[in-house]
Amino acid sequence: MTPEKDNSELTFPQFDVVSDMSDHHFLGRHPLPQMGNCFLRAISKEWRILQKNLPESIFVQVSETRSDLLRAAITGVAGTPYHDALFFFDIGLPPSYPNEPPKIHYLSHGYEVNPNLKRNGAVCLSLFNTFSGSRSERWNPETSTLLQVLLSIQSLVLNEKPYFNHPLNFVNSKKLSDSFSQYCFLQTCMTTVHLIRNPPSKFEPLITHHFRKQANAILAACDAYANGRVMVGFHGCDGAAPPRFEIRR
């Protein structure tokens, strides 16, 4: 059955404060930090940056009762095996934030779509001090932000050649890279099925609208990739670079 085309527009806020985050990964694991002045100032600053600078492809919700808890939805960009998909992350701010980087958990649904995003929800990235990298790539309490975290995941993790994300992949092989991109696309499709069946709280409207709108494009891409008409990640891609913008604080 061909999915029905959805021409309706959904008004879903890029940044929102919600009352219910009962399914948040860190709710029972992450103690409520003492809301000292330093912590409150840091959170207030982060919220302002997110409200002013989130791109259209990223959505963030924060808890009304636990300002240390956030949830983000990141859209995979064109030209990657992750195009048209949604990826969800639960974020917890530790008591010493911003002196300590945020805790982050990927909602994997049991699939590993990328070497940096593990089945157990671990996110491996230099910015979180969970992956090797130069000092300039690590979390800096003076300059690093949650917006930087989300943009780094979208551009550095969910990229066009995820094969090379793995530190042990020393062989510079296009064949291996293309094959791994196919694997990542299939894992992403399986994740999407589980995401639609088990949507995170308060994101149901976004998920429903997004995949109704993108269903034809996703199915057409599956057909094109399966028949070898185009390389994984490049169905319907016009090669345009993502927009650049200045951060307003």
Active site residue 189: no
Quote the tokens at residue 134: 């130069």
Residue 242 pLDDT: 38
Rg for the chain, CA atoms, rounded: 18
Report the C-alpha gap between 228 and 14 in whole angstroms: 36
Of 103, 35, 28, the closest CA to residue 67 belongs to: 35
Domain containing residue 174 = 15-226
Tell me which of 38, 124, 184, 222 is the catalytic residue.
124
Residue 19 pLDDT: 92
pTM here?
0.88
**32 falls within a domain:** yes
**57 falls within a domain:** yes
**140 falls within a domain:** yes
Residue 91 pLDDT: 97
For every residue of 94-114, DSSP letters joined together read: -TTTTSSPPEEEE--TT---B
Report the C-alpha gap between 5 and 218 in whole angstroms: 12
Residue 135 pLDDT: 73
Domain count, the chain: 1
**84 falls within a domain:** yes
Residue 132 pLDDT: 63
Residue 52 pLDDT: 96
Q: What is the CATH number of the domain that holds 102?
A: 3.10.110.10
Distances in whole angstroms, Cα of residue 214 to Cα of each of 91, 143, 206: 27, 36, 12
**88 falls within a domain:** yes
Q: pLDDT digit of tens for each residue in the chain (249 aa)?
A: 444 545 556 689 999 999 989 999 999 876 676 777 888 899 999 999 999 999 999 999 999 999 899 999 999 999 999 999 999 999 999 988 999 999 999 999 999 999 999 999 999 998 887 666 667 778 999 999 999 999 999 999 999 999 999 877 667 788 999 999 999 999 999 999 999 999 999 999 999 999 999 999 999 999 999 888 888 887 765 543 333 334 455
Residue 246 pLDDT: 46
**45 falls within a domain:** yes
Q: How many CB atoms lie within 10 A of CB 5?
A: 10
Quote the tokens at residue 102: 């945020």
